[in-house]
Amino acid sequence: MRKKIAKFSILPLAAGSIFFSFSTKDAANLNLEKYSTYDLELDYTVEDIKEEIETEFKLSKPAPLLGKSYVGFKEAVAFKESGGDYKNVNEFGYLGKYQFGEGTLKLVGIYDTIGFLNSPSLQEAAFYANASRNKWILQRDIKRFEGKVINGVKVTESGILAAAHLAGPGSVKKYLRSWGAQAFSDAFGTTIKNYMKRFGGYDTSFIETEKNAKVNLDKFTG
């Protein structure tokens, strides 16, 4: 070896600190077997090692933030809709991380679907605006039905808002007011009941009610 072995004493420490910075290897989406120190080429300077480690452990996308907050809610919905992929377009033409239809995008003031797909921040703003609009439309139903049990599922505000994202607020009104008799399912067979159950219990108080919620496009134009 052309370099002194003492230079590499930082390697196990650096690797160890990176491994333990993640709560689980699944959360980091890493295959740890690839990073065995037995096969490492040791002809590096300390600076080379640092650069390689940073490159090797760079995640393709951030891990979802978990919990029952608004962030946890929207990330859970996104994972179900598209796996969290901002570029996703499904076979029915639904777009982005949250799988918006063009009609819904127009309701929140977005007409450029290409620009929408290329802007993660615009997609996040669209999700919030749509949730805010839906919450305004459904505010009376939220007050009336929250805590009730319909078709074996406890009704919560977050479950209602998730179902509205799936089916639209009108279909959710019909479902609630018929006590589950007027059901809805999308092209994949996903139902309002399914979303009510899957996304129930999140704290969505962060979402404010707004009748004509729109995305402020001035924030997204250069």
pLDDT tens string 54-84:
333 333 445 455 689 999 999 999 999 999 9
List pLDDT tens digits, range 105-126.
999 999 999 999 999 999 999 9
pTM for this entry = 0.70
Q: Is 163 exposed, middle or buried (0-12, 13-18, 19+ CB in 10 A)?
A: buried
Cβ-contact 65, 72 below 8 angstroms = yes
* CATH 1.10.530 location in the chain: 70-220
- CATH for 70-220, options being 3.40.50, 3.30.160, 1.10.1060, 1.10.530: 1.10.530
Cβ–Cβ < 8 Å for 55, 15? no
